[in-house]
Amino acid sequence: MGKASNGMTRRQAAIVIAASALAQRQTFAATPAGTIDATLRAAVETKSIPGVVAMVADKSGGVVYHGAFGVSEITTGRAMREDDLFRIASMTKAVTSVAAMQLIEQGKFTLDDPVQKYLPQFAVVPKFVSFNAVTGAYSVQPAKNAVIVRQLFTHTSGIGYNFLSPILRDFKPRDGETYPVGPLLFEPGERWFYGESLDQGLGKLIEKVSSQSLEDYFREHIFTPLGMADTFYNVPQ
């Protein structure tokens, strides 16, 4: 959601911003803005990050600090601006969840509906029974329980991320095998594992029930009403 600066490491940017914001929330009254400027500028000069935009606000004074440092495009050297766009990565999940809750409020589906009621690819979802980390050999079988909508919200569906799960990272389907969903890491509802539940499930459910793409649904029902004119699912040129 938004345009990433070339070379920007989201984790590094988040650490700098969060550390600055936390420190200033606690000691802003005693800390001059120039100190924050120096801290963020130093992070750029030491090449910890190519660029950063930071803002501090509180409930009584509103915005009490804002600044931009470094470059937003390494190839051109264009200076970072306070209104530059950034990818918000998994913060998109919060927007997707809002969209889904809107549709639940309208009675389009419920938290405890089986996802397969709306998305046929969830009718028979395979689950890993075994996986050999050395050879890559694996066996799967259909999950005993259906994935329900609530489990997509709460990351308890069994759907994972390959960068967090060594099994999914190394998993290579055999010739002729395709998996529209899964294989799951565990039985739905059995435990928690951060993954693509909102990607593979909730987002597609929203599109199916609303008959709109996520881009169009977000724009019409969330971004426009909230005046979020610079937030996009796919950033236009």
In percent, the amount of the chain with pLDDT more than 90 equals 74
Go through 107-119 and write b for each residue having 16 or more CB atoms within 10 A of its CB, e for each that does not.
ebbeeebbbbebb
Instruction: Provide the sign of the torsion angle of the four alpha carbons 179, 185, 186, 191, taken in this order.
Output: negative
In the predicted structure, residue 15 carries a pLDDT above the cut 70: no
Whole-model pTM over 0.85? no
Domains (range + CATH), the chain: 10-87 (no CATH), 90-223 (3.40.710.10)
Distance between CA 96 and CA 89 in Å, rounded?
Answer: 12
Structure tokens at 224: 């426009």
- Report the phi/psi class of residue 189: left, alpha or beta, with left for phi > 0 and alpha for psi in -120 to 50: left
Catalytic (active-site) positions: 90, 93, 194
Helix or strand (DSSP H, E) at 51: strand 51-58
Could you tell me whether strands 78-79 and 126-131 are parallel, antiparallel, or unpaired per DSSP bridges? Answer: unpaired
Over residues 117-138, the pLDDT tens digits come to: 999 999 999 999 999 999 999 9
Residue 73 to residues 50, 77, 221, 232, Cα–Cα distance (Å): 8, 6, 32, 19
Please report, in angstroms and rounded to a whole number, the separation of the first and last CA atoms in the chain.
13
Residues in contact with 38: Cβ distance below 8 Å, sequence separation at least 6, in sequence order: none
Instruction: Provide the sign of the torsion angle of the four alpha carbons 203, 205, 208, 210, taken in this order.
Output: negative
Over residues 30-47, the pLDDT tens digits come to: 556 788 899 999 999 999
Over residues 60-84, the pLDDT tens digits come to: 888 989 999 999 988 999 999 999 9
Distance between CA 158 and CA 183 in Å, rounded?
Answer: 8
